[in-house]
């Protein structure tokens, strides 16, 4: 499998990010999460909903209601809502989480880090992975924290599949 071609397509796809609705996403309130750093509260709250409903069938495949997701993010951004609305389904929470992730001002994993990780995977070098991730953490602590937070959530979710 040609990983470079696959990731190039992915990069081109993510370069066409949604225009404007959440331009001020970087202003979303954050909270410190142990081992991750500062993570947007929208991700923390949606992750809590997902964890409570982790056994839901097709939790990440079924689409939530975009209007509820946008409304939730808008309320969080304006400081009107501290917690996720209890009327949201787990699928709406996943949709909100996806909106946060696709609306980040820069890619979660920068191109140079992605390329270095691909190269390290081809060489099967654990030491190289650690060095790359340490540099990434120093260079982009917010992105690294969000990525780490999401990986922890996905690890919990994969235990039930």
> Quick one: DSSP state of residue 56?
-
Domain extent listing, the chain: 3-158
pLDDT tens, N- to C-terminus, the chain (161 residues) = 444 444 444 444 444 444 444 444 456 778 889 988 888 888 888 898 889 888 888 888 888 888 888 888 777 666 555 566 677 888 988 998 898 888 888 888 889 999 998 988 888 878 888 899 999 989 988 889 999 999 999 998 887 66
pLDDT at site 147? 92
Q: Which CATH number fits domain 3-158: 1.10.555.10, 1.10.10.10, 3.40.50.12780, 3.90.1280.10?
A: 1.10.555.10
pLDDT at site 131? 92
pLDDT at site 16? 42
- Determine contact, residues 46/93, Cβ cutoff 8 Å: yes
What are the residues facing 40 on neighbouring strands? 30
Pick the closest to residue 14 from 129, 142, 102 (CA basis). Answer: 102
pLDDT at site 153? 92
- Determine contact, residues 103/72, Cβ cutoff 8 Å: no
pLDDT at site 152? 93
Pick the closest to residue 46 from 80, 14, 72 (CA basis). Answer: 72
Single pTM value for the model: 0.74
């Amino acid at each position: 499998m040609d990983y470079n071609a696959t990731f190039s397509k992915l990069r081109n796809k993510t370069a066409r990010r949604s225009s404007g609705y959440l331009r001020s996403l970087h202003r979303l309130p954050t909270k410190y999460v142990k081992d991750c750093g500062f993570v947007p509260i929208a991700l923390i709250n949606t992750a809590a909903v997902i964890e409570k409903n982790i056994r839901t069938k097709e939790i990440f495949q079924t689409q939530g209601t975009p209007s509820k997701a946008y409304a939730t993010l808008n309320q969080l951004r304006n400081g009107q809502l501290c917690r996720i609305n209890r009327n949201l389904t787990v699928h709406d929470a996943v949709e909100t989480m996806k909106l946060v992730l696709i609306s980040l001002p820069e890619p979660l994993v920068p191109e140079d880090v992605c390329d270095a990780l691909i190269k390290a995977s081809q060489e099967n070098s654990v030491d190289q992975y650690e060095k790359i991730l340490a540099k990434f953490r120093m260079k982009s602590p917010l992105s690294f924290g969000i990525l780490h937070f999401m990986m922890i959530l996905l690890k919990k979710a994969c235990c039930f599949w």
